Amino acid sequence: METLTLDRLMEIMRECAGEEEGANAGGDIGDTEFAALGYDSLALLETAARIEREYQVRLGDETVTEAKTPGALLSLVNRTISEVV
Amino acid sequence: MTRRAVITGIGVVAPDAIGLKRYWELLSEGRTATRRISFFDPSPFRSQIAAECDFDPTREGLSAQQIRRMDRAAQFAVVSARESLGDSGLDLDRLHRSRVGVVIGTAVGSTMSLEEEYVVVSDGGRLRLVDEQYAVPHLFNSFVPSSFAAEVAWDVAANGPVATVSTGCTSGLDAVGHAVDLVREGSADVMVTGATDAPISPITVACFDAIKATTPRNDDPAHASRPFDRTRNGFVLGEGAAMFVVEELRHARQRGAHIYAEVAGFATRSNAFHMTGLRPDGREQAEAIRAALRQAHRAPSDVDYVNAHGSGTKQNDRHETAALKRSLGEHAHRVPVSGIKSMIGHSLGAIGSLEIAACALAMRNGLIPPTANLHEPDPECDLDYVPLRARRKELDTVLTIGSGFGGFQSAMVLCGAGEVAG
Amino acid sequence: MTSTVVVTGMGVVAPTGIGVDEHWAATLRGTCAIDRVSRFDPTPYRSTLAAEVPGFVPEEHLPSRLIPQTDHMTRLALVAADQALQNADLDVPSLPEFGVGVVTASSAGGFDFGHRELEKLWSKGPEHVSAYQSFAWFYAVNTGQISIRHGLRGPSGVLVTEQAGGLDALAQARRQVRQGTRAMIGGGVDGSLCAWGWVAQQTGGRLSTAQAPDRAYLPFDAGACGQVPGEGGALLVLESADDARARGAEVYGALLGYAATFDPPPGSAGPSTLRRAAELALRDAGVEARDIDVVFADAAGLPDLDRAEAQTLAEVFGGCAVPVTAPKTMTGRLAAGGASLDVATALLAIRHGVIPPTVNVTRPLPDYRLDLVTRPRRATLSAALVLARGHGGFNAAMVVGRERR
């Protein structure tokens, strides 16, 4: 199974919830908190549902709320993908 | 001279409780009406539980054509409006119809009919350009929820101000609040008002699944709605309606009507924060409570009972507890607070009116309905939630509050008939 | 004594244009925006005409965060609210925390959004339904989104009375100002131009099936043959006259009087209650029929309803005694947005001393005894009566005009 990349994750987020905020503020986007990027709980739920469909995985209810940054979400998703495989 | 608005009649369609009498039995016994969804196969959904009404429109007196053209929620509205009129003892033929109005609340209108009809005209979701040849002639009634107010107004022959109020999950408070405004300002002497919703359809279940707002406790439907409990994990969808006859005080007195309560205060505020989220501090809900109490000329310490929104989501119950502490101060820890969604689920727009009905009945009977399913207190929700069993108490001033998507925060204060007479 | 409530800002997003100036210029030109539907392919349907907001690119007006979670009509409403506040020059953060609220009218919610999600559910399955479906389609969405965008924590609301809603929402906003709220946004912006909404509207039995845009919606005309839907509307900023004066705000005019009534059931013998609505609104405004300089008619475009309205006007004002116009012949009927747009247009007419025209009506029926204004007419105007009727029997009437002191 194909793993999720940070670029693809951010692309999905933009489609699901619009452009991130403070994108040019420098620093690694993967380590920036969703809140700082302007993404709220709905944005995350919409994104998670999309990932579940595209990558044929089930992310636990808690998984999504636990991940505070794109990087954290990415590793959660990829861990789940590898478990499925 | 100040005009005041009092409740003189109530009608109810509730899960496992059609009619006022059965409704009060259910609430006072602390029974739950939540169960596995029976209207459709819920197995593809995350949450498979709802509080359904066993409602037979024919048995409830609706005609064949009414049944055909009305969504289930409109049927609930008309049936409960008739009960409220009967309960009020009003003789409609002795009223000036231009002085009778109707305000009906609903959050999601004819969701059930719309989905059923969509499935047909789209041939199961296949056709984007849906087929007009398969559209039923009364589809327009489902298209616009104003048809709910129209149906009730036709049924009671009201020619005064008529409207549907749709503010999501506070619709049931806001509709009655609006009707009270119309009575007070003199636009009507009698209002038939309340709220209705029948949202238990696949699209509604799916959309709450998508935001994980409803509980997935599918293995224990009867105990799935757990407001204020540590183990709560979402609300249970419900359906139903409650209608009231709201009357100008002198009008009611002149005909010697029984008065349940005065709607002495009502206020709504917006959190301007998030379409589905709540600020944990409950600031706007608290302000709505304060404003409603001010309007009712009551102090926080006068409140004898709070009927909570108590949806059973993690964030709501915390938010609401904070709002009560912020608005009532120390008294928040003394006043009994209970959540009837534990028994009849969350019927979206309808529930606010069902809760007003519960308050009026609690005042009449001197009995506070309990919060069912509350076994494990949540340290973050540390008020007296009247767990499991109803409690005797004379009630003069009752507060009922609601909160909903879109950020609406509403509060209503009912004062007892004793106060009204004074 | 209740205080006068005035309009200090207006936001218009309508088939006549985006912004008050564009709208007014197009209205005076008599530009009819009715055309073949472009938002979906209307070929399979009996009715094929609508009036759409031209050149509306949501990304040009709104942050990208709001795009995935909003229906088209909510985007239009958000832009109208932005404009209204800007136009009023109202600085919300400087006002009391709970001092500003919003009341909108809705008719069918975000039907297009709902259509897409129903399609996903039934063609692909529940896991495809969007998290935004829980609010993006519902009737309260415009009020909720506007309050969030501008931090409006005051009393808010949503009224649904089909085409009468625009007036009912303004009246509720006026009520809130009178009860002490510092400022309110009120009105309606609406539209359900998607195939699913189209089929639902067709069952209402009022849509015109004419194919020629200038022959489709002809109120009070011998050829009246139905209605054409449109999208858009107007949102207005209301304040008490005292507050507006104190901050030196520019005032468009006042909402002087209002009333709402409801008709007897269809098929019953009882007469329409529109007349009573009009008379109560005049009484509420403290004016006589002769004080009204122009009537913005509901203008149903169906013979029965046109006749009932013409008869009402004759009863209230006398035959041909007051100029009557229906600029909605240019925009189609905007559901919950139409009546608040009429209020905005009426206030502009009063300000500029011009009655905007009723277009496309070439054969007004003489026995209606209406002074129907079919080309722009210069006139000194101080008060207008706006009428609106919603499907099912909802009647609303509002008197707007120069502030009386």
pLDDT of residue B197: 98
Sign of the dihedral through C-alpha B381, B382, B383, B389 = positive
Quick: pLDDT tens for A7-20.
999 999 999 999 98
**Residue A1 pLDDT > 70, yes or no?**
no
pLDDT at C267 over 90: no
Task: Over range B89-114, report the average pLDDT.
Answer: 96
Protein fold of B265-417: Peroxisomal Thiolase; Chain A, domain 1 (3.40.47)
Question: Would you call B118 an interface residue with chain C, using a CB distance cutoff of 8 Å?
Answer: yes
The reply to whether B5-254 and B265-417 are identical in fold is yes
**Residue from C70, C116, C129, C132 to probe the interface with A (highest A Cβ count within 10 Å):** C132
pLDDT band at B398, cuts 50/70/90? very high
Q: How many residues does chain A have?
A: 85
* pLDDT for B417 beyond 90: no
**Model confidence at C271, in pLDDT bands (50, 70, 90)?**
confident
CA distance A4 to chain C (A): 19
Lookup result for tokens 């035959």: C319
pLDDT of residue B422: 41
Q: Which of B251, B346, B359, B381 is catalytic?
A: B346
Mean pLDDT of all residues in C24-39:
98
Alpha carbon distance C405, C403 (integer Å): 6
Q: Are C309 and C163 in contact (CB under 8 A)?
A: no
Radius of gyration of chain B (CA): 20
Q: Is the ipTM of this complex over 0.95?
A: yes
Classified as helix, coil or strand, B12 is strand
Over residues C57-68, the pLDDT tens digits come to 999 999 999 999
C111 is written with which tokens?
Answer: 């039907």
d(CA C376, CA B221): 66
With beta carbons under 8 A apart, name residues in chain B contacting A46.
Answer: 210
Domain that holds residue C33: 1-405
Residue of C nearest to B43 (CA): C126
Name the interface residues of A facing C (CB cutoff 8 Å): 14-19, 21, 38, 42-43, 45-46, 49, 52-53
Q: How confident is the model at residue C152 (pLDDT cuts 50, 70, 90)?
A: very high
Please give the Cα distance from C88 to C244 (Å, whole number): 10
Q: Number of A:B CB contacts under 8 A?
A: 16
Q: How confident is the model at residue C1 (pLDDT cuts 50, 70, 90)?
A: very low
DSSP-derived 3-state class of residue B410: strand
- With an 8 Å Cβ cutoff, are A45 and C65 in contact? no
Do B176 and B185 form a contact (C-beta atoms < 8 A)? no
What percentage of chain B carries pLDDT values higher than 90? 97
Q: pLDDT grade, residue A26 (50/70/90)?
A: low
Indicate if the pLDDT at residue B419 is higher than 60.
no
CA–CA dist B127, B118 (Å, integer) = 10
Selected residues 15-54 of chain A with any CB under 8 Å from a CB in chain B: 40-42, 45-46, 49
Q: Which fold has domain B5-254?
A: Peroxisomal Thiolase; Chain A, domain 1 (3.40.47)
The identity of residue B235, as a single letter, is F
Q: Min CA distance, B274 vs chain A (Å)? A: 9
Determine the average pLDDT of the residues in B27-44. 98
Per-residue pLDDT band for B418 (boundaries 50, 70, 90) equals: low
Q: CA of B386 to nearest chain C CA: how many angstroms apart?
A: 31
Angstrom distance (rounded) from CA B201 to CA C21: 45
Q: From residue C340, how far is each of B202, C166, C192, C328 by CA, in Å?
A: 35, 5, 17, 11
Q: Is the pTM of this model over 0.90?
A: yes
Chain A: nearest CA to B276, how far in angstroms? 8
**Total number of domains constituting chain C:** 1
Q: Measured between CB atoms, does A84 come within 8 Å of chain B?
A: no
Hey, are the CB atoms on A46 and C67 less than 8 Å from each other? no
Residue C37 · residue C45 · CB < 8 Å: no
Mean pLDDT of chain C: 97
Q: Concatenate the DSSP letters of all residues of B180-217 into one string.
A: HHHHHHTS-SEEEEEEEE---SHHHHHHHHHTT-B---
Distance from CA of C22 to the nearest CA of A (A): 30
Whether B276 and A49 lie within 8 Å, measured CB to CB? no
Q: Give the C-alpha separation, C327 to C298, whole Å.
A: 10
Find the residue in B nearest to A62 (Cα): B212
Q: Which domains does chain A have, with CATH numbers?
A: 6-84 (1.10.1200.10)
Q: Closest by alpha carbon to B272, among C309, C92, C368?
A: C92
Res. C260: pLDDT tops 80:
yes
Chains that touch B (3 or more CB pairs under 8 A): A, C
pLDDT (mean) for B19-40 = 98
Closest-CA residue of C relative to B178 is: C172
- How far apart (Å, rounded) are the C-alpha atoms in residues B61 and B18? 13
B276 → chain A, closest CA residue:
A42
Pick from B114, B122, B209: CB nearest C126: B209
For residue C131, list chain A residues with Cβ-Cβ distance below 8 A.
42, 45-46, 49
3-state class (DSSP) for residue C397: strand
**CATH number of the domain to which C140 belongs:** 3.40.47.10
**Mean pLDDT computed over C102-108:** 98
At residue B420 the predicted structure's pLDDT band, cuts being 50, 70 and 90, is: low
> Which residue in chain C is spatially nearest to A49 when comparing CA positions?
C127
The domain ranges of chain B are 5-254, 265-417
Q: Are B344 and B240 in contact (CB under 8 A)?
A: yes
Instruction: Say yes or no: B308 contacts chain C, CB-CB below 8 A.
Output: no
Give me the residue from A41, A49, A61 closest to B277, CB to CB: A41
Given this model, what pLDDT does residue C3 score? 83
- Told to judge if B309 belongs to the known catalytic residues of this protein, a careful annotator would answer yes
Give chains near A: 3+ CB pairs under 8 A: B, C
pLDDT at A24: 58
